[in-house]
Amino acid sequence: MARDALAKKFSPAVFDEEQSMLVRFQSAYQDVRQTFIKEIIPAFKQYIENSQKLSKVPVRVATIPPEERNFVSKRESQGRLAYRQGFSKFIGDPKAIFKKQPRIALAGTGGGYRAMILTSGYLAGLEKIGALDAITYISSLSGSTWFLAPWIMSDLPSSQDRAGKISDIQKYQNELDKKIKDGTFDLSSAMIKNRDAEIATFIKKVLWPKIVFNQPIGWIDCYGALLSYILFYTQGAERQVQHLSTQLNAHNIPLGSRPFPLYTSVSIHKDENDKAGYNWYEFNPYAVTNIDLNLSIPAYEFGSLFAKGNIQEVAPEQSLGFLLGIFGSALAINFDDLTRITEMFEPKSLDVGEGKIVNKILDLLIKNIQKQVQNQTAKLGNAQYLRFMSAQVNNPFKELATDGRGKSTSAWLQKRETLTLVDGGIECNIPILPLLRPERNIDIIIIGEGSGNAPTAAEMGKLLKDLNDKRGYDYKRVAPAGETLSSTLHIYKNMNKDADLPYKHNLKNAAPLIIYVNFLNDKTFLAAAAKRNPALQSMITDYDLTNFDAKKCLDDSYCSTFNFAYTGAQFWQLAKMAEANILANHAAIADVIKDQFSEEPEEELEEDGGFAG
Confirm whether 360 is domain-assigned.
yes
Which domain does 539 fall in, by range?
103-148+429-597
> Distance between CA atoms of 121 and 147, rounded to whole angstroms?
11
Do 137 and 105 meet the contact criterion of CB atoms below 8 Å apart?
yes
Which of 359, 384, 417 is the endpoint of a domain?
417
Q: How many Å apart are CA 78 and CA 387, to the nearest integer?
A: 43
Write down the pLDDT at residue 600.
46
Whole-structure pTM value: 0.87
Residue segments in the chain with a per-residue pLDDT below the cut of 70? 1-55, 78-89, 92-99, 155-167, 188-193, 195-196, 250-255, 330-389, 480-484, 497-510, 599-613
200 and 261 assigned to the same domain: yes
Residue 283 and residue 265 in contact, taking contact as beta carbons nearer than 8 Å: yes
Residues 410 and 447 placed together within one structural domain of the fold:
no
264 alpha carbon, distance to own chain's centre: 5
Closest CA to 173 of 121, 135, 130, 125: 121
46 with 131, same domain: the answer is: no
H or E stretch covering 569: helix 568-584
Do residues 141 and 287 share a domain? no
Do residue 454 and residue 409 come from a single domain? no
The whole-number pLDDT of residue 508 equals 44
Q: Is residue 423 part of a domain?
A: no
* Amino acid occupying residue 162: R
Residue 208 shares a structural domain with residue 309: yes
State the total domains in the chain: 2
193 within a domain of the structure (yes/no):
yes
pLDDT at 162: 41
Name which of 330, 334, 361, 333 is nearest 345 in CA terms. 361
Instruction: Tell me the angle at which helices 568-584 and 168-181 cross, rounded to the nearest 10 degrees.
Output: 160
Name the residue among 5, 247, 24, 3 with its Cα closest to residue 114.
3
- Report if residue 344 sits inside a domain: yes
405 and 447 belong to one structural domain: no
**Which residue type does 606 have?**
E
Q: Are 573 and 117 contacting, i.e. CB atoms less than 8 angstroms apart?
A: no
Q: Which 8-state DSSP code applies to residue 203?
A: I
The domain boundary, picked from 382, 417, 452, lies at 417
Domain identity same for 459 and 387 = no
Q: What is the predicted pLDDT for the residue at 535?
A: 94
- Same domain for 356 and 217: yes
Q: Is residue 254 part of a domain?
A: yes
Contact, 536 vs 149, CB < 8 A?
no
How far out from the chain centre does Cα 269 lie? 20
Q: What is the pLDDT of residue 4?
A: 43
Domain co-membership, 322 together with 460: no
Distance from chain centroid for Cα 187:
18
